[in-house]
């Protein structure tokens, strides 16, 4: 079927969920409310009334595929759309935006993330992760519980700053940036929840947001400037950006290199750290899954140092990661804007309307997932995964804006989990699975404290 250029006859208006039914749920438990709207949509495109902001909610896999991939020109990513507009003030125009500027950034950065390139990074990354994990020996010996979000931040920053940023950004600076990102992720919540509030209207969190952006710029802008002189021989992200050219052959200016550096630091750190934080509470809740995971890692890794050669055999571990990004797709909202009047699933969509596509919703809908709230990696056994619609599971998006880091994420996360579980036995303290807190990424609503018992010293290199 060709792409329709006028609204076809026979289309209907979307069923709507009125304001008084939308707002209370969103305020109480936004994640649950969103999934509830998906269930109510029951396969249709529906419309949420949020005052003057009336986005369409797209939850059916076939519709998701049309929006993200098949008809991506009709449904553009909105750099300045209502939802991510507050974050646009941090990232500026570039890889997280849209249009020709995004296209330049995508073309320049993509070669850094091919499967072959990621494979080539793995030996070094395995070593860095092993070293960073080994620093947990000390609290393990002292019997001191650790805050797993903080420890994962340290491990991920060490691995990523070396592999992708050639250590141009030090780990302490990366951790300071992460703290500022944390402040940003939380300070934008009021604006995410009231997306129709104009930017001139002061909102709680605005000052924190501005201070955090300033802090990130104070760290990164001098590093970006300095990197220019040595860009000719580096293959890290900042050097690659400096060497990049726009479609008409011009070098990127400092603003654009800054924007993409800030964006890439955010997407390479925050995402992985937050996904992995959910693993430990789920292992506590499901001892049989924990035992199977442990058995696989013991069998595959044994007493060795974890290396790239182990990763293809960590099949169950990979299924566990899939199940984590099903329940906790950190990029939980992928808003799009209709570039012209059109229709979707028989429903009329006017030019300029916002469409909300959310893996959090679709991946937790009972229409598509049996007992969706249960943590069950078996869903990702190859034979079961094959029978599923490609867009029933899209934690990394799809189409032209598909996540560049998907392959890297799985490899890096396998290394981290295998290192941790081959070296320690980990026990979560406190309540089982924290509630989901919706911020710029999905994060646990409470701290994840772990007790560690060392079972194996690091094998000699």
- Tell the smallest beta-carbon distance from residue 404 to ligand HEM (Å): 4
Q: Where are the beta strands (DSSP E) in 345-458?
A: 347-349, 354-357, 424-428, 436-438, 442-444, 449-454
- β-sheet bridge partners, residue 227: none
DSSP codes, 117-131: HHHHHHHHHHHHHHH
Q: How far apart are CA 342 and CA 348, in angstroms?
A: 6
| Residues contacting residue 207 through CB under 8 Å, at least 6 positions apart | none
- Tell the smallest beta-carbon distance from residue 250 to ligand HEM (Å): 20
Q: Smaller CB distance to ligand HEM: residue 140 or 155?
A: 155
Contact between residue 310 and residue 418 where contact means Cβ atoms under 8 Å apart: yes
Q: Smaller CB distance to ligand HEM: residue 333 or 452?
A: 333
Show binding-site residues.
403
Residue among 354, 270, 315, 319 nearest 56 (CA): 354
Q: Smaller CB distance to ligand HEM: residue 26 or 360?
A: 360
- β-sheet bridge partners, residue 57: 46, 356
Q: Smaller CB distance to ligand HEM: residue 106 or 348?
A: 106
Residues that bind ligand HEM (CB under 6 A): 77, 95-96, 106, 267-268, 271-272, 275, 325, 329-331, 334, 395-397, 401, 403-405, 408-409
Q: Are strands 334-338 and 146-147 parallel, antiparallel or unpaired?
A: unpaired
Contact between residue 38 and residue 59 where contact means Cβ atoms under 8 Å apart: yes
- β-sheet bridge partners, residue 304: none
Contact between residue 458 and residue 127 where contact means Cβ atoms under 8 Å apart: no
- Tell the smallest beta-carbon distance from residue 416 to ligand HEM (Å): 12
Instruction: Calculate helix-pair angle for 315-327, 406-423, nearest 10 degrees.
Output: 120
Q: How far apart are CA 392 and CA 59, in angstroms?
A: 9
- Tell the smallest beta-carbon distance from residue 105 to ligand HEM (Å): 8
Number of H helices, E strands in the chain: 19, 13
**Collapsing DSSP states into helix, strand and coil, what is residue 351?**
coil
Q: Smaller CB distance to ligand HEM: residue 388 or 425?
A: 388
Six-digit token string for 170: 């030090």
Q: Smaller CB distance to ligand HEM: residue 95 or 140?
A: 95
Q: Smaller CB distance to ligand HEM: residue 244 or 331?
A: 331
- Tell the smallest beta-carbon distance from residue 2 to ligand HEM (Å): 24
- Tell the smallest beta-carbon distance from residue 160 to ligand HEM (Å): 7
Distance of CA 440 to the CA centre of its chain: 9
Residue among 295, 60, 53 nearest 191 (CA): 53
- Tell the smallest beta-carbon distance from residue 360 to ligand HEM (Å): 10
Q: What is the DSSP letter of 57?
A: E
Q: Smaller CB distance to ligand HEM: residue 203 or 439?
A: 439
Show binding-site residues for heme.
403
Q: What is the CA radius of gyration of the chain?
A: 22
Nearest residue to ligand HEM, scored by beta-carbon proximity: 405
- Tell the smallest beta-carbon distance from residue 275 to ligand HEM (Å): 5
Q: Smaller CB distance to ligand HEM: residue 268 or 286?
A: 268
Q: How far apart are CA 144 and CA 141, in angstroms?
A: 8
- Tell the smallest beta-carbon distance from residue 24 to ligand HEM (Å): 28
First to last CA, the chain: 58
């Amino acid at each position: 079927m060709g792409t329709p250029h006028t609204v076809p006859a026979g289309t209907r208006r979307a069923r709507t969920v009125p304001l008084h039914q939308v707002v209370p749920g969103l305020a109480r438990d936004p994640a649950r409310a969103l999934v509830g709207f998906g269930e109510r949509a029951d396969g249709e495109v529906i419309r949420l009334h949020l005052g003057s902001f009336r986005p369409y909610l797209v939850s059916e896999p076939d519709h998701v595929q049309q929006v993200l991939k098949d008809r991506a020109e009709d449904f553009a990513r909105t750099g300045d759309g209502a939802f991510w507009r507050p974050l646009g003030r941090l990232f500026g125009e570039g890889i997280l935006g849209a249009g020709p500027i995004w296209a330049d950034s995508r073309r320049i950065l993509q070669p850094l993330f091919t499967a072959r390139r990621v494979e080539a990074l793995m030996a070094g990354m395995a070593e860095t992760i092993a070293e960073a994990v080994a620093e947990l020996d000390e609290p393990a010996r002292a019997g001191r519980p650790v805050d797993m979000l903080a420890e994962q931040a340290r491990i991920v920053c060490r691995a990523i700053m070396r592999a992708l940023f050639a250590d141009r950004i030090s780990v302490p600076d990366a951790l300071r940036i992460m703290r500022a990102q944390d402040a940003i992720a939380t300070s934008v919540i009021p604006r995410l929840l009231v997306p129709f509030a104009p930017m001139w209207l002061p909102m709680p969190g605005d000052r924190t947001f501005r201070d955090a952006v300033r802090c990130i710029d104070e760290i990164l802008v001098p590093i970006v400037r300095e990197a220019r002189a040595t860009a000719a021989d580096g293959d890290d992200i900042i050097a690659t950006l400096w060497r990049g050219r726009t479609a008409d052959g011009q070098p990127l200016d400092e603003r654009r290199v800054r924007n993409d550096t800030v964006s890439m630091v955010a997407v390479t750190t925050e995402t992985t750290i937050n996904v992995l934080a959910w693993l430990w509470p789920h292992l506590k809740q499901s001892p049989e899954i924990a035992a199977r995971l442990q058995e696989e890692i013991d069998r595959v890794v044994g007493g060795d140092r974890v290396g790239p050669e182990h990763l293809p055999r960590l099949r169950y571990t990979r299924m566990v990661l899939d199940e984590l990004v099903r329940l906790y797709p950190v990029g939980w909202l992928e808003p799009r804007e209709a570039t012209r009047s059109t229709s979707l699933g028989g429903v009329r969509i006017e030019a300029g309307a916002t469409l909300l596509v959310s893996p959090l919703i679709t991946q937790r809908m009972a229409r598509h997932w049996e007992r969706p709230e249960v943590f069950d990696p078996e869903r990702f056994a190859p034979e079961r995964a094959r029978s599923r619609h490609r867009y029933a599971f899209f934690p990394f998006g799809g189409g032209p804006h598909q996540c560049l880091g998907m392959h890297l994420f799985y490899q890096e996360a396998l290394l981290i989990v295998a290192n941790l579980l081959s070296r320690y036995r980990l026990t979560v303290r406190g309540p089982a699975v924290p509630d989901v807190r919706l911020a710029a990424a999905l994060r646990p609503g409470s701290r994840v404290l772990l007790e560690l018992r060392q079972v194996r010293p690091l094998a000699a290199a």
